[in-house]
Structure formats: C-alpha cells, structure tokens
Amino acid sequence: MRSSTPEHWERYWRAHRRVEETYDNEERLLAQLRDLPLPGRTVLEVGAGSGRDSLEIAARGARVVLVDYVMESFAVVRGVAAEAGVELHCVCCDARALPFREGSFDLVFHQGVLEHFRDPMPLLRENYRVTRPGGHCLVDVPQRYHPYTLIKHLLIALNLWFAGWETEFSPASLRRVLRACGYEIVRVGGDWMVPGFAYRSLRYVLRQWGIARLPKYPRELPLLGAALRRLRAWVRRRRIGPWTFAMVNVLGRRPSAP
C-alpha cells in the first residue's frame, strides 16, 4: 500500500502549482474562528498545502507561520502570498518536533493532516505544547460516517488514492483525542465537500479524456447551481445535517495558566 512520503508530496505540489485549479476549503475553517480575535495574534498552520486559509487569516491582521516537511509546497504558498501582497512565514520541519518554544502561538490549526498519522497523539501533543495558555487549536479531518470514506478506502485498497494511506474520525473520536492532549472542547463543526466527490471525479475524467470541460464548481452551472444551493440550505437546517458532512472539525482551547 502506497504511503504518503516526502517524495510523493514534492511531486504532488510540483504538479499543482496552479493553485486556482486546486479546490479550497471555502469558509469551513474560517467559520470556526468567527469569534476569535485575529489582528495582532500569532498563528501556526501545520501542513502548508496551498496556504489559502493562512492567507485569509493573515489578511485579517494575524502574523502567520506555516510548517511543512516538503519545500515544494512553499513555492505554492509564496506565489499565492506574493500575488495577494500578504506576508507568510514558512518553516520546513517535522510537525511532531516543532522548532518553537512552548506557548508560542495564539492559534494552531491544520486541515487534511491528522488523518495521515497512524498515531495522532505525537502531532497533537506538539500542537498543545506550542499553543499558549488560553490559546486555541482547530483540527479538521475527514468524517468517518460518510460515503466519501467508503470510496476513499476502496481506492486505498486498490492503491489508487492520491494521498496514500489515510484514516478518518467521527466528531466524538476527534473530541476525545483533543481532550486527551489537554484541550478543552469549544465546539464541533464541519461541512460538505464542495463540490462533491462525484462531481470532482466526473470533471477529472471528462477533462482527461478530452470529452468536455465542466466548470470547477457545479454552482457555475446556472440551473444546477441554484438547485444545489437550495438543497444544501434545506439539509443544513435539519437535525441530520451534520451527519451528512464529509469533513468535521473541532476547536479546542488550552486552559489558561492558574
């Protein structure tokens, strides 16, 4: 079974430097930070990726540091930051042994990272170490109880999943691992994958075969986009709504020093 090696991610980000072709998280993470003061705060993103969430946080007045264990992703991050005229600070290191003092950051966050670790605790304990007392940690992962998870594990078994081995979490299990590290749970959130996995796959196949070019998001299709927005709003209002989310996240708080 293929693993997520540094060489794999170097190749991935070398092939995805055109960040406009890479799907973003829309407002999923920023919605969880809605009531946290950001101007003047020091923020750490673990796993740089495209850096677009960090870009928005920096634009709101925070000083943002990104860490990753491959250099190629920083080429993407720096390109996005330069285009937006925003300063982001990049550090190449192992996220389980961060080169920062205890309590260095007001906010630590990551998306699409924890699921790649067979043992999540070393990473989360290091998150906790560098979070200041009274500071926060936001962790965003794939939802365990979702059709997306079944499809993903089928592709993993066939050695066809783009990211190698992955796991996933339920909201309850994600709360448990953050509590085990010492965080107090502030709230649980999440959202659907936008666009859905089926649409992404269809768009990719059609583009590879040269049959047709679908827009990046189905909302760009006049009739379908309006119908999907109404459906999403209806489901979100129902009690079952959160159980349909493809991605879940938990915001934790490191207790203040006595």
| Per-range mean pLDDT, top range of 12-16, 65-69, 70-74, 76-80 | 65-69
User: How do residues 197-217 score in pLDDT, each as one tens digit?
Assistant: 566 666 666 666 776 676 666
Q: What is the mean pLDDT of the chain?
A: 83
pLDDT at 195: 58
Q: Is the pLDDT assigned to residue 107 strictly greater than 60?
A: yes
Listed residue (55, 45, 54, 53) closest to 26, CA to CA = 53
Q: Is the pLDDT assigned to residue 61 strictly greater than 90?
A: yes
User: How do residues 1-57 score in pLDDT, each as one tens digit?
Assistant: 455 666 665 666 555 556 555 555 557 888 889 899 999 999 999 998 888 899 999
Q: How confident is the model at residue 235 (pLDDT cuts 50, 70, 90)?
A: confident
Listed residue (18, 105, 91, 98) closest to 57, CA to CA = 105
Residue 169 DSSP symbol: B
Distance CA 144, CA 174 (A): 10
pLDDT at 100: 97
Distance CA 118, CA 121 (A): 9
- pLDDT (mean) for 56-81: 89
Joined tokens for residue 252: 């934790």
pLDDT at 1: 47
Alpha helices by DSSP H, listed for 103-145, are: 121-130
Distance CA 258, CA 247 (A): 35
Q: What residues does each domain of the chain span?
A: 6-145+162-194+245-253
Domain 6-145+162-194+245-253 falls in which CATH fold? Rossmann fold (3.40.50)
- pLDDT (mean) for 149-160: 83
pLDDT at 16: 58
Distance CA 92, CA 87 (A): 17
For residues 120-157, one letter each, b for 16 or more C-beta atoms within 10 angstroms of the residue's C-beta and e for the rest, the string is: beebbebbbbbbbeebbbbbbbbbeebebbeebeeebe
